[in-house]
Amino acid sequence: MTTTSATLGERLDALIDGIDSLPSTHLFGAIALFSVAFAVLLLNTGGAPQIRDSALPPHRLEQRDHSASTRTSARTTAAARGGSEERREPKWHILKHLNYAASVSFLASVLYFASDASRFLDDSASLLKFFAGWSVYLCYFLGFFGISFVDADGLEREEREEEEAQAAHAGKKDVAPVPERDGAVSRALQGAGSSCTSSPVKPTGKLHPPAACAPVCSDPTPLSSIKKVAPTSSNLKELSDARLAELVLSGKVKDHQLEKLLDPHRAVQVRRLAFDAKLADLGRGGALENLPSFPSLDYERVFGANCEIVVGYIPLPCGMIGPLTLDGESVYIPMATTEGCLVASANRGCKAISQGSGAISSVVRDGITRAPCVRMRSAKEAAELKLWCETTENFLSLKKAFESTTSFGKLLGADPTVAGRNIYLRLRCFSGDAMGMNMVSKGSLAVIELLRDKFPSLELVALSGNMCTDKKAAATNWIEGRGKSVVVEATIPKEIVRTTLKTNVRSIIQTNLHKNLVGSAMAGALGGFNAHAANIVTAVFLATGQDPAQNVESSNCITLLEETDDGDLWISCTMPSIEVGTVGGGTGLPAQAACLKAIGCKGGGENPGDNSRRLASVVAAATMAGELSLLAALAANTLVQAHMTHNRKPTAAAVSK
């Protein structure tokens, strides 16, 4: 006699009948015992892969730090280990496996029910069992499903890639830790981030580690990761501003998340505390005290110096990028702009440069120019004047007349150009730490008076004959230079290109070639062989009190990228006409002076011209950071997506709701 084996459904029915036959007290006891065992297994035993601090939500870090602060011995141990205390983490990964099991079993029960739905619908007992089981699944799904997925996998994977990239180049790097200072904020700064790499230039000052996080506008992916780990802000709002600044410095709270976690006004105050601590470590503490965060302006400083018929002022948001390793020092760079994503993108470039060799700058020429236009009676007389000015002895006479009007100015050259009866005498002057337009204009008048004595028929047409050339695109500035001529370079390891810039060396080089070089040539560009140098130059100019109109010639830039023998990325920006000063003009206003102090070049330098040359190098290095990040976004085709994701405010109607 052949026996038919029980079907799966019959076995499940038998199992359910067996459970029904159990006394309710035994059944509830088994459920309670299982729950306790599961909780002990999940929450009280370690051994799971440890979640890094940077992947934990800030409120969990705050709770952990608060409890740790009550245990002196634990704090001492953590400090001895550099803040990387080992601790046992709950086995959160068990929930992930449980989620899969629950999902599969739920789908199996649905398929089993669908296989013979008519019979189960007619059998009230079976139907009740299905509904009871599905109710349990529903409770689980609503209460626990997905817990293990909200664990910052994206951020953890991204940070792991960056650590691997830095470890691959560990043999080429020297750690330059931030010296210990008194106070909790300094301890947070000491342990924040990763080690800063050394550059071919011997460090001449303190180096801060590269920024611990990529800015949200560098790539569209970080925003989704932020949403995963963003905690409820109630815990953070209860903390003091100083404590929040410590969390920012230690990397436990990302500075670009502050507006979401707190509110925009308080976020600015916390961020100011954090940056002030960083600047204080570089010997520039208190630099931001005169950078207003609330509406204020000293109109007495404005009157007679900066503006006439004053009715108010236009506030501009001012961001800060860095640290950027420049010539062996860490520098933070203020940028005033209303263009969303610009500061965040430039900050990503700073991070990549600091993770690599750091930026290395050279000022190859320094001299502001003025070109008076004079007119003679004939072209022959104009030619005679030109030849007279080019004689060494006569130039020394012009130099003496020019320098009699200034304490710092030095006449470096006088280059005459003839056009019929016109002479354009381009005078080049060293102006110390001033941008120098007033200085060179006053000296030019003295030169004209001397020439009138030698050539009585000389007629001054205009003190500025447009061959200077000021605030206009001109080949003479591109070729001969004006102000400071700067070249800056850096080498970015290929792994940093991949992990931080989200592209590869070959793609970014090809993008620069076909866009910045070929594309600009086809457009007939004059000094515009770059991606967006004017963006960075203008933002730094506005923050530091420079003449924003001079961004026309100051933004002359050619960006070059090459692949090194090791497969790394070499980048340079050559900028022949950066016109900046650290004294005079808008640099005396409190907010702009605060930004110059933050950079480390407020006022006159120890030697005339030191601070203005430093500022020019900072402008060039910031431009290179902006070029690097934008080219990477274009190479990876993430530019539009990033701007649409991060640079769009809700509509007014949505906000009002």
- Helix (H) / strand (E) element for 577: namely strand 569-578
Residue carrying structure tokens 């102000």: 483
Q: How many helices (H) and strands (E) does the chain have?
A: 29, 11
Total Cβ atoms within 10 A of residue 98? 17
Residue carrying structure tokens 């003679």: 376
Say what the alpha-carbon torsion angle 594, 600, 601, 605 is, to the nearest 10 degrees.
Answer: 130
Total Cβ atoms within 10 A of residue 468? 27
| Mode of pairing for the β-strands spanning 360-370 and 483-492 | antiparallel
Distance CA 502, CA 642 (A): 13
Say what the alpha-carbon torsion angle 366, 390, 418, 406 is, to the nearest 10 degrees.
Answer: 50
What is the set of active-site residues?
339, 471, 547, 643
Total Cβ atoms within 10 A of residue 450? 16
Closest to 535 measured CA to CA, from 625, 648, 644, 640: 625
- Identify whether the C-beta of residue 544 lies closer than 8 Å to the C-beta of residue 585: no
Say what the alpha-carbon torsion angle 400, 405, 410, 415 is, to the nearest 10 degrees.
Answer: -70
DSSP states along 257-310: GHHHHS-HHHHHHHHHHHHHHHHHHTT-TTTTTTS-SSS---HHHHTTTT-SS-
Residue carrying structure tokens 């941008």: 435
- Identify whether the C-beta of residue 58 lies closer than 8 Å to the C-beta of residue 213: no
* Strand positions, DSSP E, 371-515: 373-375, 410-419, 422-430, 459-462, 483-492
Distance CA 559, CA 551 (A): 17
Q: Is the peptide bond before 650 cis (omega within 30 degrees of 0)?
A: no
Q: Is the peptide bond before 469 cis (omega within 30 degrees of 0)?
A: yes
What residues have CB less than 8 Å from 187, skipping those under 6 apart?
A: 79, 180
* Three-point CA angle 431, 444, 455, nearest 5°: 150
Task: Indicate the burial class of 593 (C-beta count within 10 angstroms; 0-12, 13-18, 19 or more).
Answer: buried
Collapsed DSSP state (helix, strand, coil) of residue 525? coil
Q: Backbone phi, then psi, for 562, in 5-degree steps?
A: -140, 160
What residues have CB less than 8 Å from 210, skipping those under 6 apart?
A: 193, 194, 196, 197, 323, 350, 351, 352, 354, 355
Distance CA 381, CA 377 (A): 7
Sign of CA dihedral 520, 521, 524, 527: positive
